[in-house]
Chains A and B, each alone.
Chain A
Amino acid sequence: MYTERVIEHFRHPHNMGKLANPSAIGKVGNIVCGDVMWLYIRVEKDDQGRDVIADVSWETFGCTAAIATSSMVSDLAKGKTLEEAIAITNQDVAQELGGLPPVKMHCSALAADALNEAIHNYLSDRKMPVPDALRRRHEKIEKDVAALDKRYKAFLDREQTKGNTAAAGESAPCS
């Protein structure tokens, strides 16, 4: 079902955990779907004065593919200029892993989205110009999240009315 490279990244994920002093965080996914990805980036100037992703890490709640794509996108983004990192797509992530089963392709999209969101947040937090393509993707991700929230409102409401106080992993406080 999974390629050897997927299994390898799942077994020994790269760049996992929190990042000390991140410049920005991208948070994507939905607890109802069972995938939540938080991607941390630290941006620094390189010797040519360009913004570079000096360090990257992630925390992921999800399946084998979600963990492997998190690991892969962090490898792909590390050391890249923001411009280069913006160009990383879900196809790049899936391809580098030797492919993903069709039902798991959303995991690669999630990984690319997390990177997109982290860069978007980095730029917009600093009132820096956000490239059009990045903004469009950000708007689409936000729309998708809203659609999911709407679709799963019944699920989430039911849980809230039950007065469930489970501390971790609640959907509502994450969004």
Chain B
Amino acid sequence: MPDRVYLDNSATTPVAPEVFDAMRPYFDSAYGNASSLHAFGREARRAVEESRATIAEFLHVLPEEIVFTSGATEADNLAILGSAYAPGRSGGHIVSTKIEHHAVLHSVDWLTSHGFEATLLDVDATGHVDPDQVRAALRKDTFLVSVIAGSNEIGTLEPIAEIGAICRERRIAFHTDAVQAFGKIDLPTPSVDLLSASAHKLHGPKGVGLLVVRKKTRISPTMHGGGHERGRRSGTENVPGIVGFAAATRLAAREHDEVVARMRRFRARLMEAVASIPGTRLNGHPTDSLPHIVNFSFQGIEGESLVMRLDEQGIAASTGSACSSPDLEPSHVLVAIGVPLSMAHGSLRISTGRQTTDADIDRLLDVLPRVVKDLRDLSPFKVGEATCTPSE
């Protein structure tokens, strides 16, 4: 398809050319196992440790506090399950929120079916978690608080520094899923004990992520084997992936101000233009948001249809619609922020990347009103009508 427009960068991003170039030698010339003693191994080890140092500097943490994983899902699992089964712990209580990524929510769910207890906090209508509610939810046996840094669905930023300070005061470990926030906002890493991130959301490769584990934070490994990553995550290091992660981080740091300013401008343009289509709403916070994610709902239409219609026009976006999940219920995040059911199924998430241009946004804004009208023409729910009885 000619001239395709990709506006689904919170699902994944294209690998940047310089990232690809940095990775290439580690596939077929510097292919050693970083644990090997010989020159091939030492070359790979050097690449891994230089990459670790690059990312550590970017995050203002120590290199040995970074544990590379296969991605953010593994990092979230390691943070939560690893804390739950830390040496000396048996049982206890976790505090998290209703708007976490499934990698966190389902890990917490799994723990509650294995003798642990959890409190999932509500959020306000824009998706904000109230730090006072976090404080109120803490119990004597609470050992972990996990709050997403910026919502992958609606973009809302959470008060991570404040929540971290509360946890610090109570000596409770604090984890944040920073998958979407990494490289986009300044993360208050001093207030965080555990932090998950992923390379492929930032123009790096798929299959590599990391968990920051601060020095005094105790976790048990969830991958057992050869004792890699200081015994915290066994498995041969994904050398090209890790090198790519570092290259993507360097690129994000170098371009940050310019790219983020552009993303904010795109977001503002989208909010203004979509507001002029009747029967729409912004899901999330208008300003206290990740720069690259914006989420709308369109009354009377269903998200998957909307995504498919846009796809026919060469535009890739996504939906929080649940119609391909077995339970058919709308997105847990949209339900948590109180999006009316009439609109929760009709959501569209647009997410920009470093490669997004004004022309891409123009194209979407040209097509979107037509596609919305087209689907509303098929729908029994007419926007602006007082009831949903058929008007004959």
Q: Are A18 and B392 in contact (CB under 8 A)?
A: yes
Asked whether any CB of chain B lies closer than 8 Å to the CB of A44, the reply is no
**Which one of B35-43, B266-274, B302-310 is at the A interface?**
B302-310
Contact (A169, B378) CB under 8 Å given A32-B330, A63-B302: no
Contact (A61, B379) CB under 8 Å given A171-B341, A173-B388: yes
Contact (A36, B381) CB under 8 Å given A61-B302, A168-B299, A169-B300: yes
Asked whether any CB of chain A lies closer than 8 Å to the CB of B323, the reply is yes
Q: Are B341 and A168 in contact (CB under 8 A)?
A: no
Contacts of A25 in B (CB 8 A): 390
- What is the CA–CA distance of A14 and B379 in the complex, to the nearest angstrom? 14
Asked whether any CB of chain A lies closer than 8 Å to the CB of B136, the reply is no
Asked whether any CB of chain B lies closer than 8 Å to the CB of A92, the reply is no
Q: Is the interface of B mostly helix, strand, loop or mixed?
A: loop
- What is the CA–CA distance of A32 and B324 in the complex, to the nearest angstrom? 14
- What is the CA–CA distance of A41 and B341 in the complex, to the nearest angstrom? 28
Asked whether any CB of chain B lies closer than 8 Å to the CB of A22, the reply is yes
Asked whether any CB of chain B lies closer than 8 Å to the CB of A167, the reply is yes
Minimal beta-carbon separation of A155 from chain B (angstroms): 6
Q: Is the interface of A mostly helix, strand, loop or mixed?
A: mixed
Q: Are A10 and B341 in contact (CB under 8 A)?
A: no
Q: Are A31 and B390 in contact (CB under 8 A)?
A: no
Minimal beta-carbon separation of B257 from chain A (angstroms): 40
Q: Are A32 and B341 in contact (CB under 8 A)?
A: yes
Asked whether any CB of chain A lies closer than 8 Å to the CB of B359, the reply is no
Contact (A11, B305) CB under 8 Å given A34-B323, A61-B379, A168-B342: no
- What is the CA–CA distance of A27 and B390 in the complex, to the nearest angstrom? 10
Contacts of B386 in A (CB 8 A): 167
Q: Are A11 and B312 in contact (CB under 8 A)?
A: yes
Q: Are B302 and A59 in contact (CB under 8 A)?
A: no
Contact (A34, B302) CB under 8 Å given A168-B385, A171-B341, A173-B387: yes
Q: Are A61 and B381 in contact (CB under 8 A)?
A: yes
Contacts of A162 in B (CB 8 A): 338
Minimal beta-carbon separation of A47 from chain B (angstroms): 28
Q: Which of A25, A156, A159 has the most CB of B within 10 A?
A: A159
Complex: chain A residue closest to B323, CB-CB = A63
Q: Are B341 and A64 in contact (CB under 8 A)?
A: no
Contact (A63, B321) CB under 8 Å given A10-B308, A18-B392, A169-B381: yes
Query: How many pairs of residues, A versus B, come closer than 8 Å at their CB atoms?
Result: 127
Minimal beta-carbon separation of B295 from chain A (angstroms): 16
Contacts of B1 in A (CB 8 A): none
Contacts of B329 in A (CB 8 A): 32-33, 155
A contact residues, range: 35 or more
Q: Are A61 and B328 in contact (CB under 8 A)?
A: no
Q: Are B380 and A38 in contact (CB under 8 A)?
A: yes
Instruction: Tell me the chain B residues, 314-333 only, with Cβ under 8 Å from chain A.
Output: 321-326, 328-330
Contacts of A173 in B (CB 8 A): 387-389
Q: Which of B324, B384, B391 has the most CB of A within 10 A?
A: B324
Contact (A16, B381) CB under 8 Å given A159-B341, A169-B299, A169-B342: no
Asked whether any CB of chain A lies closer than 8 Å to the CB of B340, the reply is yes
Q: Are A166 and B342 in contact (CB under 8 A)?
A: yes
Q: Are A20 and B304 in contact (CB under 8 A)?
A: no
Q: Are A38 and B390 in contact (CB under 8 A)?
A: yes
Q: Are B342 and A22 in contact (CB under 8 A)?
A: no
Name 17 interchain pairs, CB-CB below 8 A, sorted by A: A18-B392, A22-B392, A25-B390, A32-B341, A34-B322, A60-B378, A63-B302, A101-B324, A104-B324, A159-B340, A167-B387, A168-B385, A169-B299, A169-B388, A171-B341, A173-B387, A174-B388
18 additional A-B pairs beyond A60-B378, A168-B300, A174-B388, beta carbons within 8 Å, are A17-B377, A21-B392, A31-B341, A32-B330, A34-B323, A36-B381, A38-B390, A59-B379, A59-B380, A61-B301, A64-B308, A167-B384, A167-B387, A168-B384, A169-B299, A169-B340, A171-B342, A173-B388
